[in-house]
Amino acid sequence: MSDTKYDVIAIGNAIVDIIASCEDETIAKLGLNRGGMTLVDAEGADTLYAAMGQATEKSGGSAANTLAGLAQLGTRCAFIGQVAKDQFGEIFAHDIRAAGIDFDTPMRDSEPPTGRCLIFVTPDGERTMNTFLGAGQFLPAGALDEDVIASGAILYLEGYLWDPEEPRRAMRRAIDVARKAGRKVAFTASESFVIDRHGDDFRQMIEDGVIDILFVNEHELATLTGEADFEAGLAKVAGKVPVLVATRSAKGAVAVANGARAEVAAEPVDKVVDTTGAGDQFAAGFLAGHVAGEPLERCLRRGAIAASEVISHYGPRPETDMQALMAAKLA
């Protein structure tokens, strides 16, 4: 859009991912929620970190990961999220700016430290995430640059950050600013446990017409709608949001936009190494097509291609020239 400075502005957790391989026995021994995401406190994070083998550290956070993919695809992006003035905070700020994403949220002086996510990856590529939100839980509404929010074509929000009270207030304020500026609001449900806790909020936002683009996976859709049948769940939501995108892992993805439906298969992958960030990158690919005004099926293809790239290596962000990959796959 010609009157916008950014294509996508995201508000989300500012987190550094710590990723390590492990055997299935380790997941059982530690009593972890295999394949899911569990919130832990600082002590729990330290305990799990000590139990990890050799690890890699990469900046993460769901919405920030999506922006990293979008930036690689040539999309103009800005991120709003809270870090502390510490080593992990400096790592996060450096990485996101190096990716070409504007990030100007003031660092927090006091405790708690910058958030981190300890990710255990089993031999099948499944990731088990244990997240200490840290400073990200204390993003205040006062840290929002409302002129920046109003300058973005799409405001993208991650459900994970809806859990803590302070950033939830900030996100509600950001929604108001975006809507008054005539911008779109995109929302990713993030995880079923978030819907368990805040589903009434999400359902009310859907009923109120606040959400323009909703991203869910099939499990989140079932939790949101109470419908175990995928098609029944789609039918319950599709007429209430302009664009509904539902991913189904190896079964591909479906989108319904203003009554039109499109469906794509998952992109083939030689080997699934790590599913961390798959949903985040699917959203990146889809939104890149959406802001460019591409047809619904092509947006889904972009999402599937982006997801296939990220699950082929460790880490939640692309490691390939994504514009070249899209050009080759979509030719």
Kind and range of the H or E element at 216?
strand 213-217
Confidence of residue 1 (pLDDT cuts 50, 70, 90): very low
- Read off the pLDDT of each residue in 201-214 and give the average, rounded to a whole number: 97
Residue of 113, 139, 105 whose CA lies nearest to 49: 113
Under the banding of pLDDT at 50, 70 and 90, the label for residue 2 is: low
Q: At 331, is the pLDDT very low, low, confident or very high (cuts 50, 70, 90)?
A: confident
CA distance 225 to 242: 17
Other beta carbons within 10 Å of 25: 9
Helices assigned H by DSSP within 99-217: 146-150, 165-180, 192-207
Average pLDDT over residues 191-200: 94
Res 218: pLDDT = 96
Residue 42: predicted pLDDT: 87
Which range has highest mean pLDDT (12-16, 31-35, 220-224)? 220-224
List of domains in the chain: 6-14+60-113+135-330 (3.40.1190.20)
**What confidence score (pLDDT) does residue 65 get?**
95
pLDDT of residue 173: 97
**pTM for the full model?**
0.90
Look at residue 247 and tell me whether its pLDDT is greater than 50: yes
Kindly report which listed range (35-49, 149-163, 248-262) carries the lowest average pLDDT score. 35-49
